[in-house]
Chains A and B, each alone.
Chain A
Amino acid sequence: MKKSIIVALFLTLIVQFSVSAQSGIDTFMVQVDGLGCPFCAYGLEKKFKELKGIKNIKIAIATGGFSFGYPAEKALTMQTVKSQVEKAGYTPVTLKIIRADGKEELSETEK
C-alpha cells in the first residue's frame, strides 16, 4: 500500500512537471512562401535557430508550413517572427501563435 502511494505521488509529480514545462512554451505556426527546395528549408531553420531557446522546429516543404515552440517568458512577438522569416529570404503569409496560457493571436491575413 505504502509503495502504491509513493508511486502514485511520484507519477503525479512527473505529470505536474511535464504540464508545467509544456505550459511554459508558446507555439508558433507560420505559412511561408518561397520554399522552392529542401535547402531553402535549411536556410529558414538556420535563421530561426538564432533565437536561443527555440524548440520542436518542423517544416513541411510541400505546403510551406513552419512551426516551432518558444519559451513563453521570452514573449516572442508576431513582428519578430515575420522579420526573421524575411531575413531568411522568404515571405511570411500567415502566422498563428498559441500562447502558453491558451490565448491565440492571428496575423491580419490569418483572420
Chain B
Amino acid sequence: MKLFYGLYALIFLCTITSVAQGPPITSDKPIMLGAGSFTARTLLEFRNTDSGSFSYAPLILNYLPTSNSLIEIELPLIGYETTTGDAKQALADIKVVGKYQFFRKDGMGKTFRIAAKTIQTLPTGKALDLMYLSTGNYAGYYGIVAGIEKLNYGISNEIGYNWMPNGTLDEMRYKIGFGLPLLKPQYPNKQVNLYFEYTNSWLLERDWYQLLYAQGIQYARKNTTLDVSVQVPIINDVAEGRRLKYSLFGGGRFTF
C-alpha cells in the first residue's frame, strides 16, 4: 500500500506543474489547444462506496496531431479495500481516447465547439466491476462533447453511450458542467475557477440510475494548476451494497 501511495504522490507531483483551465472534474471539453501540443495530466480519485474504498491514479498523456484532433492514452493504477476483505494495488483498465472537432464558431473573447469522442477501454484491469475504473472487460464509449467558453463563464455538455459486449455495464450518460472564473481574466494566467457539474448515468442492463453532483475549485497561476473537488450522489438507484457514498478528486495538468 505504501508503494501505491508513493506512486500516487509521484504522479500527482509530476503533473502539478501545468497551465490548465479544465476540463474540470470529470466532464470533458472540446479541443482548445493547437496542433503539436502534448499534455500530461492526472485526475486522482478516491471513491468510497458501500462495497469498499478505491483509489485511482491515472497518468494521462495526450497529443494533438492537428488543431481539431486529439489522441490520448490513460495509464492507471488502482488500490482497493473491499468489504469482503480483499485489498491490493493493481493496474486498472488502460484507456485510449480519440476526439475529432467538427464544428467551431469563434467570436471576440468566446468560442463554441463540438467534438466527437470515443474511449476504448482495454481489459487490462482487475475485475472489480468499477465503472470507468477497473472492470477487466473491453468497452467502447461513443459520444459528443459540446462546449462554450467565454471569459466570464464556460459550459460543457457531453452525451454518449458506453458499450460493453461481454459485460452488463452498458451505459447511457449525459453530463453538464459549469465553470466560473472568480478573478478578472488576465494574461499571463492567474485565476481561481469554480466548477460544478451534474452526471446522469443509466446502466440499462442492470436498471440502475445515478445522478451525481460534483463541485470543485481550481487555482491556476502561470504554469501551475491545482484542482480539488468532491462528488456526491443525489439519486442513487443501484443495487444494495453498491451505492456510491462520495468521491474525492485531485488533479493537475502540464502542457508542453
Q: Which residues of A line the B interface, CB within 8 A?
A: 33-44, 46-47, 50, 59-64, 86-91
B31 at the A interface (CB under 8 A)? yes
Contacts of B185 in A (CB 8 A): 37-38, 61-62
Task: Find out whether the CB atom of A37 lies under 8 angstroms from the CB atom of B21.
Answer: yes
Task: Find out whether the CB atom of B106 lies under 8 angstroms from the CB atom of A61.
Answer: no
Task: Find out whether the CB atom of A43 lies under 8 angstroms from the CB atom of B21.
Answer: no
Q: How far is the CA of A39 from the CA of B110 in the complex (A)?
A: 12
Contact A43:B37 (CB < 8 A) given known A36-B151, A63-B109? yes
Q: How far is the CA of A98 from the CA of B35 in the complex (A)?
A: 28
Q: How far is the CA of A32 from the CA of B15 in the complex (A)?
A: 30
How many residues of chain B are within 8 Å of chain A by beta carbon?
A: 32
Please name 15 pairs of A and B residues whose Cβ atoms are closer than 8 Å in the assembled complex, sorted by A: A34-B104, A36-B149, A36-B154, A39-B21, A39-B220, A43-B255, A60-B187, A61-B185, A64-B109, A87-B35, A88-B33, A89-B33, A89-B34, A89-B68, A90-B111
- Contact residue among A40, A46, A59, A90 (Cβ-Cβ distance under 8 Å from B37): A46
Task: Find out whether the CB atom of B35 lies under 8 angstroms from the CB atom of A36.
Answer: no
Contacts of B168 in A (CB 8 A): none
Chain B 9-53: CB-based contact to A (< 8 A → 1; otherwise 0): 000000000011100000000011111110000000000000000
Q: How far is the CA of A41 from the CA of B19 in the complex (A)?
A: 11
Q: Is the interface of A mostly helix, strand, loop or mixed?
A: mixed
- Contact residue among A59, A60, A64, A89 (Cβ-Cβ distance under 8 Å from B32): A89
Contacts of B187 in A (CB 8 A): 38, 41-42, 59-61
- Contact residue among A33, A47, A89 (Cβ-Cβ distance under 8 Å from B108): A33
B107 at the A interface (CB under 8 A)? yes
Contacts of B107 in A (CB 8 A): 33-34
Q: Is the interface of B mostly helix, strand, loop or mixed?
A: loop
Task: Find out whether the CB atom of B34 lies under 8 angstroms from the CB atom of A43.
Answer: yes
B83 at the A interface (CB under 8 A)? no
Q: How far is the CA of A38 from the CA of B67 in the complex (A)?
A: 18
Task: Find out whether the CB atom of B34 lies under 8 angstroms from the CB atom of A37.
Answer: no
B20, B67, B220: most-surrounded residue (chain A CB, <10 A) = B67
Contact A87:B67 (CB < 8 A) given known A37-B21, A39-B19? yes
- Contact residue among A62, A64, A88 (Cβ-Cβ distance under 8 Å from B34): A88
B191 at the A interface (CB under 8 A)? yes
A35, A89, A91: most-surrounded residue (chain B CB, <10 A) = A89
Q: How far is the CA of A38 from the CA of B189 in the complex (A)?
A: 6
Task: Find out whether the CB atom of A47 lies under 8 angstroms from the CB atom of B111.
Answer: no
Contact A39:B106 (CB < 8 A) given known A34-B111, A87-B67, A88-B34? no
Q: How far is the CA of A35 from the CA of B31 in the complex (A)?
A: 13
Contact A62:B37 (CB < 8 A) given known A39-B32, A86-B67? no
